[in-house]
Amino acid sequence: MQVRKLEVRDAYELIPPTFPDQRGVYCAPFQAAALTGVLGYAPGFVQVSHAVSRRGAVRGPHYADVPPGQAKYVFCTQGALLDLVIDVRVGSPTFGTCASVRLDSTSYHAVYLAEGLAHAVVALEPGSTLTYLTSTGYNPAVEHGINPLDPDLGLPLPDDMELILSEKDRSAPSLAQALADGRLPRYEDCLARYRGLLATGRTPDPLTGG
């Protein structure tokens, strides 16, 4: 599996080999050894989520408080998605930067984003299916969003389709509002989280994320 650093620090694109034959195609979109080689510790995921979207559906950007935060490993199992990783960590050298990757069910590329980063996807085809692994379970009390239409955020959203947003995402604050309200993760807290995982070389506790 090939690994490519994205423009956002602590985010990576992972490119698995595919093996087509007369029956179809085989690949392994998630390979723990490849991710361990990049992170320096064994990744720990406690939940697999699955979302099927209409063409033009936008999900996110979403992020979680750090600690513990929520790392994600994302790939597309049907159709095609525009995957967006946004650095919302206050103090990060790449704060405000967005990295975009096309994920589809032909190449099976994947994206890993560390705790503290925000994530969004746009469905490019009908029935596009997002599958993602997370290092902590869903906890609405510590999860937040940014308005994907925020002009200052400047996400590279497609302009050739009608975008479909949930009311929750449409009413989410702008990046500037979230920053002013103190809702964004601090880069120093994220670095401490990464150092802790690296020092122990272990996966997070499945119940606490610690």
Summarize pLDDT for 153-177 with one digit per residue, the tens.
999 999 999 999 999 999 999 999 9
Q: What's the CA gap between 109 and 166, in Å, rounded? A: 26
The percent of residues in the chain predicted with pLDDT above 90, rounded, is 92
Banded pLDDT at 201 (limits 50, 70, 90): confident
3-state percent breakdown (helix, strand, coil) of the chain, nearest 5: 15, 35, 45
> Which pLDDT belongs to residue 21?
94
Closest CA to 99 of 183, 27, 9: 9
Residue 181 exposure: Cα atoms within 13 Å on the Cβ side: 12
C-alpha closest to that of 79 among 101, 49, 107: 107
Active-site residues, by number, are 62, 132
- Residue 202 reports pLDDT greater than 80: no
**How many Cα neighbours within 13 Å face the side chain of 124?**
16
Tens of pLDDT, residue by residue over 80-94, are: 999 999 999 999 999
* Strand pairing report for 11-15 and 2-5: antiparallel
Show the domains of the chain with their CATH numbers. 2-197 (2.60.120.10)
Write out pLDDT tens, residues 18-61.
Answer: 999 999 999 999 999 999 999 999 888 999 999 999 999 999 99
